[in-house]
Structure 1
Amino acid sequence: MAADAVPHTPRSLRTSLAMRCAAVMLIVGMVAAAALLWALNHHNQQLAQQGQQAIARSVAQTLASQTARAIRLGIPLQKLQGVETYLQQTMDSTPQLAYLALTDTKDQPLQAVSRGKALPLIKLPVVVRGQTVAMIHAGAASTKTQGLLMPALVCMGAVLLMAFMTGWCIHAWPASRLQRRHELLLSALHQGQTLPVQEGQASDALQAALQALAMRQQRNLQAQQAVADYAAELHAVDFDQKMRQSIDEIAQATIKNGANQ
């Protein structure tokens, strides 16, 4: 009875398939999340820079207009009073800016204020009667974007959840179905019987493959039995038993070679 028992199929097949699918989903999800976070960071930097440029342009246009008005009144550019104080007050009231300067047409600073290292943003001319008489420069500190820690944690949690759900779904349905088909195949091959055709369990191609494997196993068993029967007949006519060992060796080698094919 023990020899006829259906061989046990380890559950590693079902679990391995589910874990592989979950790992693929995890890798793909992590790559997609990394690309999404990079795009989000790049987009935030562009928005922040555009906002700084808009503010810097507005401030520079105001300074250029006021400087041009003073020059039109006949005040020489080098003798403008209170420019540095005005620039400092303007920058203090505009935290997005880190550098403001009034320069000549060769970009030589006449009056300038700054706080820390600044990146140049805007350079506008001061135009009087159609001629450029000075330049207004405005800069900002390095662009600071919104922290991505929380979006990164959300993306990581979503990816892990998707990977877990994928593995669970594969384990519960497709992998379970494959496990049953595997057990059915092992049972048929072990017993040397053809598989019963059950509609809805597998595709025609899979069913045909299982049938072919079972039929081949059955033919192998029949061939082995035929070799054993023929050897028994030879033993029956070997009256002096001198060929018994040779017959047994030939029969065993034939059965072994047939099993390995």
Structure 2
Amino acid sequence: MKFVSRAQWGARASRYKLTRIPDTRGVKVHYEGSHVPASLANPDAHNLCAGRVRAIQAMHIADDDEDYSDIAYSAMVCPHGYVYEGRGAHYQTGANGSAPLNRAHYAVCAMVGSSGLTEPTPAQLHGIRDAIEWLCADGAAGAEVKGHKDGHPTACPGGPLYAWVQRGAPRPGATPDPGPAPTPGPKFEPFPGAAWFKSAPRSPIVTAMGRRLVAEGCGRYRSGPGPQWTDADRQSYAAYQRKQGHTGTGADGWPGPKTWAALKVPKV
């Protein structure tokens, strides 16, 4: 993590003592909500980022209506991926909209806005993840990662950043979790062909077929079924064909591909 402490970015002292908190349910992601120059993302513009954090702290401290003690955010992240310590870990944020919301989540603000620089850079997304993981490790933040608008009526953190949050806030280039593997479906015996049955085969497929015919209420066996194809198998299969609505030569007891598929004989 490219961490910039309060002392390193030149933070002013808090107006009054910040409220300490033992832990949170997680972190909420914010954006500045005003114009951020697109040029701030240029590689040679990083020297402007600390000054931007100082300006935001000064603006918050001067806001008599909100009566902020300090910069409202737990941390800020610039387009170059640096994490600027705001109120920091174990201190209640002032950015989430109300005292209960501020106690429930830390607040990490990305230097993107509603115009100009609106898309977070890959380095910035890495930085936001760094800030979240820092607050989890040092601030006992829970696993929730949400947007400011989750729980408070606001457009923050803007469309692009909120879409990233809704995807689970992944690091750029990370392989998405595919989730649990699908449960394999049942496997059935393919149709062996009518000629195969007419050759009076001896096979476990015949036994499996007979068991399915008995399960369908179509068994005409005195014993078995067994692996040897017999007239009892043909009579049982004819009963199944009639159950499927077939008549005449369609119910002659010789398996066909459609009735075989419907019977779903398990793979042996």
TM-score normalised by L of structure 1: 0.22
Query: Larger relative contact order (C-alpha < 8 A, sep ≥ 6)?
Result: 1
Task: From the two aligned structures, give the one with the greater helix fraction.
Answer: 1
TM-score normalised by L of structure 2: 0.21
Select the structure of larger CA radius of gyration: 1
